Chains A and B, each alone.
Chain A
Amino acid sequence: MTIKDTELESWRSLWSSDDGSSAGRSDAGSETRRAAIPDARRIAAMGRRRLVRRMAVEVVMAVVWIAVAVLLIRLRPDPALMVLGAGIVAFVAVACAFSVWNSAGIWQPAGDSVRDFVLIAVERCHRDLRAVRFGLWFAAVETALLVAWLVWTSGRDVLPEISRLPDGWLVLPVAAPAVIVAWLLLLRRRARVELAALEGVRRQFEDDWAASTG
């Protein structure tokens, strides 16, 4: 025998009703469809382009830095230039290896459920924060080693080509790390806000998930 759940039925009837102003309009399907299709095409295309662009920027940056390193090593047989070139190659290799390691296993959730989605989103936030920590350490170590190299080569005209650069060129090596650090700090702030919200959802789900996997 089935007991009729009148309370749920009355809520259900109200929930599905057409109130003329809210969610239940009868033409909502057509309206959603008409509005969604052109924008879905455009926004999906934009999202893919952004992903491809980001990957392309990372690859181009790596290639440019490797080219600079090769150029320095081949410029003249000077141990200081070889050390600088080898250092650049090593840093690019470390950055690429970190990028591959840090993004492993987070491309797809384990399943399609909300639980899988929340778990992968939390993991992605943690990876973003790890990337920021790595970026800040990376920038600090890179700067320290560069300063050490400059001290080591001071008094020797290792790169006379620099004197041919226009006045004020030094702004670039100072401004670039500052911009990168500012960008990393902004990323960290965003990731922390997102993670706090996600953890709120995860906490709400935790008991039920534990019961469902136990």
Chain B
Amino acid sequence: MGDDHEFERVDDSVFERVDDLEFERVLEEFGPALRRLAGSYESNSSRRDDLVQEIAIALWRALPRFRGESSMRTFVFRIAHNRALTHVWRRGRVPSAEVSEAEHVTDPAESPESQLARGQRRERLDAAIRALPIVHRQVLTLALEDLSHAEIGSVLGLRENAVAVRLTRARQALRAALGVSA
């Protein structure tokens, strides 16, 4: 009991260094993007919420380390993708190209009316992105969040030309998953 109390005291002193307002501001600004990112890893809503929660915790821990050497945006996406990867491999399932082929993306031709529904198209895009191998998925979701090639390179640890190559391949794979010709 005494030990636990001591640990709580140590933790509190750590928390005092964390700027609550900064954490809230970051989550306010990037919350929607983080939920979209989580949606590219998890289709199930409760598991997606769990992942958002894990990312928020990772951010809470990492924010005191932020020294402004990169933009807050690249910092947040680095933490978020790292946490999402941990989430995926702890569950022991990292989709590969082979697995992605097995995942089914609904053919919109079956229901022309529903193609017009933006929500349904959005769901289809989400499913197609989730079906991509992780390297394609990461580079594509970052591009969809409007990050530049340099910023994506900074998040993933790649050079800009490697990002461009990877993004081209990812877009081809997404087109194929969506059944769109180039």
Contact = CB atoms under 8 A, between A and B. Distances in A.
A23 B126 contact: yes
A179 interface: no
A16 interface: yes
A209 B138 CA distance: 14
Interface of B is mostly: helix
A40 B157 contact: no
Interface in B5-50: 7-8, 10-11, 14-15, 20, 23-24, 27-32, 34-39, 48-49
Contacts of A113: 78, 154-157
A107 interface: no
Contacts of A21: 119, 123
Interface in A97-122: 111-118, 121
Interface size bracket, B side: 35 or more
A193 interface: yes
A43 to B, nearest CB: 5
B144 to A, nearest CB: 4
Contact of B38 (A23, A117, A205): A23
A117 B36 contact: no
Contact of A32 (B3, B31, B146): B31
Interface string A1-18: 000000110011011110
Nearest to B90: A194
Contacts of A154: none
A33 B28 contact: yes
B92 A24 contact: no
Contact of B85 (A112, A118, A196): A118
Given A7-B171, A115-B156, A211-B162, A15 B119 contact: no
Interface of A is mostly: helix
Contacts of A193: 92
A196 B91 CA distance: 11
6 contacts: A15-B122, A15-B141, A23-B35, A23-B36, A37-B60, A49-B11
Interface of B: 3-4, 7-8, 10-11, 14-15, 20, 23-24, 27-32, 34-39, 48-49, 52-53, 56-57, 60-61, 70, 75, 78-79, 81-82, 85-86, 88-90, 92-94, 96, 118-119, 121-123, 125-126, 133-135, 138, 141, 143-146, 153-159, 161-162, 165-166, 171, 174
Interface of A: 7-8, 11-12, 14-17, 19-26, 28-33, 35-37, 39-41, 43-45, 48-49, 52, 56, 111-118, 121, 193-194, 196-198, 200-201, 204-205, 208-209, 211-212
